[in-house]
Structure 1
Amino acid sequence: MTLETQFITMFMMIAFGVYIGGAYVFFKRIDKWWTKRVVLRYLLELLFWVGQALLLFYILYKVNEGIVRFYIFIALFCGYAMFKALFESTFKKWVDVLLGFAGKMIRGIIRCIQMLVIQPIVWIVSLIFMLLHRIFVLLFKLFYVVVSIVAYPIRQIGILVYKLLPKKGKKIIYQIGQFSSKIRTKKK
């Protein structure tokens, strides 16, 4: 390994240490969204560190053919310490501003979707149900009127027939009525 490759490796590892510091601060800022789900929190933490390790070894492979030496870890820690000392407070402020802006954008998009998609669908469904209800009420009233019109002559004929019946026929009808009322009371 040449001296130039070693310097490039040292510089890249210091830069990666700074990157890890920033990525970890960002990860911890968005960590509050899933802190109540312990299993998810640990799983995402594990995935974060595995992803960082894979990225580190990919960079090492590209820079110095994947050779791992002790000074690489020292350079990583120096980069991380440099981030903590020089950039962390400013980076946290920028992350908070970025996340606040992203939250406002997401809330705005959700509000637009709600106003442009969900509300019209709710209005259309409400209108359809209202129209169906009115049609059902109208059909029921129409059915009632038709039944009333058809039943009136039948009722009048029934009254006329009842008046023309002899007393024995009226008595039989009365007994049938009493019998059917006993059946109804026994079923209850």
Structure 2
Amino acid sequence: MNPQIQWITLLWMLFSGAAMGLVYDSYRVLAGQLRFPRWLQHALDLVYWIAAALFVFRMLYVTNYGQLRFYVFVGLFLGVWIYFLLWSVITRRFVVMLIQVAKRLLSVLMTMFRILVWNPIKGILNLLKGLFKLLWRLVMFLLRMVLRCLLPFWSLLKWMLRPITSRIVMPVWCKHVADKVIKAWKRWF
């Protein structure tokens, strides 16, 4: 392996170490801000290390066909060390700022949704409910008025049919159904 490929591999391992540090810092801040459950943090740690290993081996395979040498570990260590020395604080502050911006944006979007979508739908439903109640009361009022107008005719009809109805014997089940209908009728009207 020639020295040029070794230097390119070392630079890519420096970059990979810095990228691992960047992702680790971002993940650590996100886990702290979003307060993941303990078991989920362990699972995400495992996912991070598997992804980091796959990323490093992919970079190693691209640069020098997967040959593992001592300077690869030196490059990774130096990349992580330089990242934590120079960029760690800036990255953490930036990720915290991004989280705050995302929370504010989500809050604004939820407020806009509530104002532009939810409140009008709720108002329309309340209006329809009120109109239905008004229509129902109007129908019930008109029905009561019609029944009051027909009450004298009903009394006259009952008086005229009394000789016939007095001889008819209603079955028990029919009386039971009639009683329920009369109770419901009195409750509504």
* Same fold? TM cut 0.5: yes
Deviations 1:138-170 (A, max 9, x none): 222222222222223323x379x49xx9xxxxx
- Is the Cα contact below 8 Å between 1:34 and 1:41 reproduced in 2? no
TM normalised by structure 2 equals: 0.74
Deviations 1:10-36 (A, max 9, x none): 111111111111111111111136535
Deviation of 1:5 after TM superposition, in Å, equals 1.0
Counterparts of 2:90 and 2:50 in 1: how far apart (Å)? 27
Counterparts of 1:117 and 1:101 in 2: how far apart (Å)? 23
Change (3 A) 1:147 1:86: same
Deviations 1:96-136 (A, max 9, x none): 22222222222222222222222222222222222222222
1:91 aligns with 2:91: yes
Specify the alignment match of 2:45 in structure 1: 45
Specify the alignment match of 1:128 in structure 2: 128
Specify the alignment match of 1:72 in structure 2: 72
Question: What code does the residue aligned with 1:43 have?
Answer: A
Counterparts of 1:87 and 1:153 in 2: how far apart (Å)? 96
Moved over 3 A (4+): 32-36
Change (3 A) 1:90 1:36: closer
Question: What code does the residue aligned with 2:128 have?
Answer: I
Deviation of 1:59 after TM superposition, in Å, equals 1.5
Matched positions, count: 163
Secondary structure, aligned partner of 1:67: coil
Secondary structure, aligned partner of 2:68: coil
Secondary structure, aligned partner of 1:93: helix
- Is the Cα contact below 8 Å between 1:34 and 1:40 reproduced in 2? no
Counterparts of 1:148 and 1:137 in 2: how far apart (Å)? 16
Counterparts of 1:50 and 1:8 in 2: how far apart (Å)? 24
Specify the alignment match of 1:171 in structure 2: none
